[in-house]
C-alpha cells in the first residue's frame, strides 16, 4: 500500500484498530525522508515516555495502597476503554512534571538512605571503641604534641608488649587496656605518646605481632559523644526518610494509574510508529507491505477506501522464499485446543494444523485420566463460574473452555466406571438410594477388572498412532512425494495392522478367519519396508540391509502404544485415592461428638487435595501423549505466529471501536 504522509498516521491508527495487519519490515531498506525522520523522532520521544512510565511503576508499586490483585487481573478485571478514551486521559505536561518530582524524591531518598547506611557503619565502628576514654582525635590526626594508636595484640604477648612500650617510651606514654571478651584471642590497647615517638611506638608494637586498628577520620570527640551525635543524626535522617516515603505513598495510587494508562497508550503508539517505520519512503509517500488474512481483506479495503485520494492498495505475491505467518482457524468445538498447539509450536503455513485432529483424543484421554464423575462436576462448575462471571483474556477463556469440556468427559467416564468421589455412593450408607442409579449406567469396574480398561487404553493408543501415520501419509501424498507416503507411512500402517490382526486372532480375541489376512498384511508390509527403507543408500546390499534393519523400529511403535497404559494408571489412581479418603472419613464418623465434623473435614480436604493433584497429572499426561506419541508422527511446527498490529494494552482492555468496522 502506498500512502501519502499527510494521512499516514491516521490510516495506520485505523489499521491498528482493525488488528488484522502484520507489517513486514524490509531489512536493509530503511529509507530517509522528511516523513520518515518525523516518524523516528516521534518514536524516540514516545520511547522516552514509556521509559518514564516504567520508572514510575518500579518506584511507586511498593507503596501502592489499593494494590491490584494478580488473580483479578488474570481474570480480566481491568479498566475498559476505547482507544480514544485512553488517549483523552493523557496529559503529557502533567506526566512530565509528575515524573520530574518523583525523580527528585527518589534522588533525595537514595541520598538519605546512603547517608543512613554510612552513619550506621560509623556507629558500628564507634561501638567497638566505646570504652576508649580519650578523645578519638588523638588516634586520627593527633594534636601538635600528642598522638596515639589503638592496637590488637595476641593475649600471650600483650603483657610483654605493654611493658616494652613503657620501657621504651618512659613516662611520656599513657596506655589503656580496653575491655574485651574472654573468648577473644587478642587484647586491645589504646596508647598515647608524644607525636615524635609515634613511629617508634609502631615499631615496638609490630615486634609483638600487634595490628593497628584504624580510627575513621570522622571521629574527633570521645567515643560516647560521637555515638550520641551519630545516633541523633541517624534519627533525623530516618525521620526524613519516612517523610519522603510518605510523599511517595500519597502519590502512589494516582501516579500508578497515570503510569499504567499513559504507558498503555504510549505502547500502542510505539507499536504503530514502529509499523510505520517499516515503510519504504519517498519525500511524500510511504510504501507499506503487510500480511492480512483473506477473510479480513474486505475490512481492510473498506478502511482504506476512506482515504482513496491519498492511497493505493494492491494484493501482491510473496517474494521467493518468503514464508507467510500462520493464523489458526478451527471449528468452535476445537478452537479451545489452539493454545496447546501453539505451546508446542506454530504449524508451518500451508501444512497440517493438528488442533482439530488431536482435540477428540485429548478430551477423551483427559476424561479417562481424571476419571471421576464427582471431581469432573466440581471442576466444571468452578470453571463455568469464571467463564460466566469474568471477562477472561481470549487465551485463558479458551483454556477454561477446553478444561470444562475435558471435565465433561470425566463425568462420562466416571458414570461408565461408577466412580463418584471414589466409591462415595457405596461407602456412605446415607447415599444408598443412589446406588441403583449409579449401577444402571455403569458398564465397567476398573478396580475389579483393570485388564479391560488396559486393553481399551492400548486400543485407543494404537488407533491414534495409526491416525498420525495416516496424516503423514496424506501430507506426503498431497505434496507429491507419493513414494515416501507409500513406503514410509503406508508400509508401517499395513505391517502394524497385520501384526495386530494376527496377534488378536492367535490369542482368540478375533475369529480365526483373521489369521490369514493378518499374516498376509504383516508379511506384505514387512516386504514393503525392507524394499523401500534403504532407498537412499548406495548398493543393493546396503539397501537391503537398511531395509531389514528398519523393521527394528517396530519396538518404537510398541513403546508408543504402551505409553497409553498411563490412561489406566492415572484413572485407577484417582479412584484409589478417593476410596482411601472415603474409608478414613467413614472410620472417624463414629467418634462421639466430633466424628461427623471430622468426617466432613477429611472428606472435603482429602478430595480437594485429590482433585488438585489428579487434575494436574491428568492434564500433563494427556498432553504428553499428544506431543510425543501423536505429533511425532507427522507434525512440522516450524511456522511463525501471525502477529498483527493491534491496540494491545497491558493494564487495560481496549474496547473495539465500532467506527472502524
pLDDT at residue 65 above 90?
no
Confidence of residue 69 (pLDDT cuts 50, 70, 90): low
pLDDT in tens, 78-97: 888 888 888 899 899 999 99
Residue 189, number of CB atoms within 10 A of its CB: 20
C-beta neighbour count of 315 within 10 angstroms: 9
Q: Which alpha helices (H) appear in 170-222, and where do they start and end?
A: 198-206
Residue 324 DSSP code = P
More confident residue, 25 or 343: 343
Which of 582, 166, 116, 626 is closest to 361 using CA atoms? Answer: 626
Contact at 8 Å (CB) between 366 and 409? Answer: yes
- Per-residue HEC secondary structure of 262-298 comes to HHHHHHHHHHHHHHHCCCEECCCEEECCEECCHHHHH
CB crowding 578-605: b at 16 or more within 10 Å, else e: bbebbeebbebbeeeeeeeebbeebbee
Q: Using 50, 70 and 90 to split pLDDT, how confident is the model at 659?
A: very low
Residue 440 has pLDDT above 50, yes or no: yes
Which residue stretches of 19-77 are H helix?
A: 34-60, 70-74
| Percent residues over pLDDT 90 in the chain | 39
pTM as predicted: 0.79
Report pLDDT for 290: 93
**Exposed, middle or buried, 308 (CB in 10 Å: 0-12/13-18/19+)?**
exposed
The string of pLDDT tens digits covering residues 509-529 is 778 888 888 888 888 888 888
Confidence of residue 145 (pLDDT cuts 50, 70, 90): confident
Instruction: Name residues whose C-beta falls within 8 Å of residue 361's C-beta, 6 or more positions apart in sequence.
Output: 460, 464, 625, 626, 630
From residue 574, give the alpha-carbon distance in Å to each of 381, 417, 624: 19, 12, 18
**DSSP per residue, 93-149:** HHHHHHHHHHHHHHHHHHHHHHHHHHHHHHHHHHHHTTT--S-GGGGTT--SSEEEE
SS3 of 535-574: the string is CCCCCHHHHHHHHHHHHHHHHHHHHHHHHHHHHHHHHHHH
Tell me what pLDDT residue 660 has: 46
Flag whether pLDDT at 310 surpasses 70: yes
Cell of 219: 571521629
Return the H-helix or E-strand segment holding 328.
none
pLDDT digits (tens, 9 = 90+) for 325-342: 999 998 888 999 999 999
8 Å CB contact between 471 and 634: yes
Amino acid at each position: 500500500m502506498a500512502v501519502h504522509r499527510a494521512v499516514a498516521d491516521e490510516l495506520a491508527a485505523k489499521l491498528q484498530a482493525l488488528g488484522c495487519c502484520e507489517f513486514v519490515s524490509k531489512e536493509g531498506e530503511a529509507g530517509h525522508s522528511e516523513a520518515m525522520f518525523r516518524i523516528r523522532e516521534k518514536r524516540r520521544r514516545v520511547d522516552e515516555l514509556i521509559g518514564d512510565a516504567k520508572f514510575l511503576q518500579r518506584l511507586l508499586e511498593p507503596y501502592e495502597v489499593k494494590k491490584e490483585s494478580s488473580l483479578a487481573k488474570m481474570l480480566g478485571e481491568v479498566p475498559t476503554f476505547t482507544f480514544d478514551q485512553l488517549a483523552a486521559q493523557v496529559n503529557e505536561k502533567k506526566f512530565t512534571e509528575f515524573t520530574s518530582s518523583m525523580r527528585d524524591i527518589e534522588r533525595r531518598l537514595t541520598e538519605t538512605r546512603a547517608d543512613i547506611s554510612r552513619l550506621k557503619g560509623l556507629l558500628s565502628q564507634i561501638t567497638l571503641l566505646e570504652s576508649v576514654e580519650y578523645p578519638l582525635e588523638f588516634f586520627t590526626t593527633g594534636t601538635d604534641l600528642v598522638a596515639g594508636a589503638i592496637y590488637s595484640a595476641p593475649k600471650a604477648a600483650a603483657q610483654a608488649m605493654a611493658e616494652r612500650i613503657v620501657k621504651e617510651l618512659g613516662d611520656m606514654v599513657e596506655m589503656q587496656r580496653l575491655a574485651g571478651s574472654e573468648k577473644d584471642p587478642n587484647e586491645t590497647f589504646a596508647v598515647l605518646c608524644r607525636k615524635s615517638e609515634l613511629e617508634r611506638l609502631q615499631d615496638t608494637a609490630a615486634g609483638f605481632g600487634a595490628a593497628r586498628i584504624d580510627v575513621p577520620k570522622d571521629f574527633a570527640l570521645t567515643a560516647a559523644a560521637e555515638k550520641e551525635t551519630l545516633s541523633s543524626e541517624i534519627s533525623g535522617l530516618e525521620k526524613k526518610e519516612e517523610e519522603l516515603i510518605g510523599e511517595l505513598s500519597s502519590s502512589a495510587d494516582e501516579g500508578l494509574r497515570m503510569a499504567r494508562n499513559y504507558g498503555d497508550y504510549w505502547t500502542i503508539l510505539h507499536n504503530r510508529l514502529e509499523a510505520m517505520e517499516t515503510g519504504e519512503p519517498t519525500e511524500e509517500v510511504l510504501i507499506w507491505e503487510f500480511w492480512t488474512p483473506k477473510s479480513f481483506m474486505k475490512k481492510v479495503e473498506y478502511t482504506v477506501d476512506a482515504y482513496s485520494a491519498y492511497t493505493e492498495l494492491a494484493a501482491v505475491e510473496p517474494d521467493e522464499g518468503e514464508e507467510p505467518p500462520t493464523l489458526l482457524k478451527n471449528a468452535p468445538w476445537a478452537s479451545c485446543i489452539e493454545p496447546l498447539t501453539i505451546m508446542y509450536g506454530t504449524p508451518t503455513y500451508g501444512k497440517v494444523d493438528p488442533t482439530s485432529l488431536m482435540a477428540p483424543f485429548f478430551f477423551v484421554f483427559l476424561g479417562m485420566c481424571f476419571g471421576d464423575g464427582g471431581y469432573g462436576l466440581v471442576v466444571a462448575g468452578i470453571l463455568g463460574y469464571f467463564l460466566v462471571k469474568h471477562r477472561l483474556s481470549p487465551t485463558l477463556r479458551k483454556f477454561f473452555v477446553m478444561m470444562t469440556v475435558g471435565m465433561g468427559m470425566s463425568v462420562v467416564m466416571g458414570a461408565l466406571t461408577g466412580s463418584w468421589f471414589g466409591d462415595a455412593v457405596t461407602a456412605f450408607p446415607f447415599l444408598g438410594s443412589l446406588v441403583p442409579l449409579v449401577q444402571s449406567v455403569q458398564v465397567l469396574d476398573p478396580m475389579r477388572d483393570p485388564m479391560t480398561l488396559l486393553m481399551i487404553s492400548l486400543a485407543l493408543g494404537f488407533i491414534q498412532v495409526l491416525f498420525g501415520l495416516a496424516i503423514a501419509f496424506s501430507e506426503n501424498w498431497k505434496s507429491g512425494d507419493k513414494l515416501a507416503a507409500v513406503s514410509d507411512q503406508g508400509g508401517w500402517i499395513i505391517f502394524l495392522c497385520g501384526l495386530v490382526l494376527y496377534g488378536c486372532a492367535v490369542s482368540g480375541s478375533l475369529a480365526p478367519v483373521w489369521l490369514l489376512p493378518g499374516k498376509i498384511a504383516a508379511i506384505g508390509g514387512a516386504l514393503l519396508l525392507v524394499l523401500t527403507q534403504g532407498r537412499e543408500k548406495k548398493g543393493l546390499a546396503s539397501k537391503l540391509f537398511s531395509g531389514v534393519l528398519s523393521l527394528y523400529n517396530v519396538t518404537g511403535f510398541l513403546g508408543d502404544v504402551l505409553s497409553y497404559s498411563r490412561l489406566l494408571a492415572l484413572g485407577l489412581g484417582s479412584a484409589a485415592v478417593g476410596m482411601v479418603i472415603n474409608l478414613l472419613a467413614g472410620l472417624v464418623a463414629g467418634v462421639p461428638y466430633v466424628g461427623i465434623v471430622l468426617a466432613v473435614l477429611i472428606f472435603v480436604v482429602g478430595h480437594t487435595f485429590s482433585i488438585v493433584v489428579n487434575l494436574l497429572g491428568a492434564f500433563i499426561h494427556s498432553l504428553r501423549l499428544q506431543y510425543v506419541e501423536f505429533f511425532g508422527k507427522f507434525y512440522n511446527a516450524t511456522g511463525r505466529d501471525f502477529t498483527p498490529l493491534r491496540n494491545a494494552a497491558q493494564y487495560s482492555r481496549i474496547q473495539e471501536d465500532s467506527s472502524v468496522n
